[in-house]
Amino acid sequence: MSKNKVLVLYAHPSPRRSEVNQPLFKASQQVEGVTAVDLYHDYPTYNINIDREQQRLREHDIIIFQFPLYWYSTPSILKEWQDLVLEYGFAYGSEGTELHGKKFLCSLTAGGKEDAYQTEGYNHFTIRQLLYPLEQMATLTGMQYLAPFALFGARTAREDDRISTHVTQWKALLNSLVNDDFDYKQAAKVEKLTMCLNQPDSEEKA
């Protein structure tokens, strides 16, 4: 079976206060075939090394942004990373084909509950809709966009004892991606990725 190289680009501005993303990041560091990068650690002054980041992209098949949802979007370093790294002639434009054929997804946590992320809900939009700029970034750069892997109600996850299940699902997801044992077509269509995994997603709805 062919193996994929998976790149996790993790962005949390206050990792010491993180209850969910930090354990997810630690778990991804332990999965063979996954390169786990802590962007705020590597670039505390946002002095992103474009050549190094572009080289990392070339060397991986699947790119993952991992972050807590901040103002319905990514923490700011992931925007800066896109602005600097996804250059014309590298990621787009007639000769910018370096990302063609790769896959892209987000692994995110949100403070809001899942039922708030509905058309009729408190936040009016689904999480997949709120991530449309990232979906279109992936499409424009020739990557296949996969639905996000998400944990809702993240700030009560610890007291509700939902973190370990989520970490287990995350490791299962990463292993499936590394081993190319994954239904990409289905994952491109659904609202969020837990539906694709052969595991219950009831903890998000609790």
DSSP secondary structure string for all residues of 15-74: GGG-SSHHHHHHHHHTSTTEEEEEHHHH-TT----HHHHHHHHHT-SEEEEEEE-BTTB-
**Which part of the chain contacts ligand FMN (CB under 6 A), choosing from 43-51, 107-115, 135-143, 172-180?**
107-115
Q: By beta-carbon distance, which residue lies closest to ligand FMN?
A: 111
Which helix (H) or strand (E) covers residue 185, if one does?
A: helix 184-189
Closest approach of ligand FMN to the CB of residue 205, in Å: 15
**In the window 146-165, what residues touch ligand FMN (CB under 6 A)?**
154-155
Closest approach of ligand FMN to the CB of residue 69, in Å: 4
Number of C-beta neighbours around residue 147 at 10 A: 22
Site string for ligand FMN, 12-31 (x = CB under 6 A): x-----xxxx----------
Q: Find out whether 132 and 139 touch, Cβ atoms under 8 Å.
A: no
Residue 74 engages ligand FMN in binding (rule: CB under 6 A)? no
Q: How far apart are the first and last CA of the chain?
A: 37
Closest approach of ligand FMN to the CB of residue 94, in Å: 37
**Closer CB to ligand FMN, 157 or 173, in the complex:** 157
* CA 81 – CA 49 distance, rounded (Å): 9
Site string for ligand FMN, 110-139 (x = CB under 6 A): xxx---------------------------
Q: Which two tokens stand for residue 120?
A: 């009729």
Among 8, 27, 64, 69, binds ligand FMN (CB under 6 A): 69
Among 35, 40, 61, 70, binds ligand FMN (CB under 6 A): 70
Closest approach of ligand FMN to the CB of residue 51, in Å: 30
Q: Find out whether 51 and 92 touch, Cβ atoms under 8 Å.
A: no
One-letter amino acid for residue 82 of the chain? Q
Closest approach of ligand FMN to the CB of residue 23, in Å: 8
Q: Would the CA dihedral through 165, 167, 172, 176 be positive or negative?
A: positive
Q: Compute the chain's Rg from CA coordinates.
A: 16
Classify residue 162 as exposed, middle or buried by CB count within 10 Å of its CB (0-12, 13-18, 19+).
buried
**In the window 177-196, what residues touch ligand FMN (CB under 6 A)?**
none
Which residues bind to ligand FMN, rule: CB under 6 A?
12, 18-21, 68-72, 109-112, 154-155
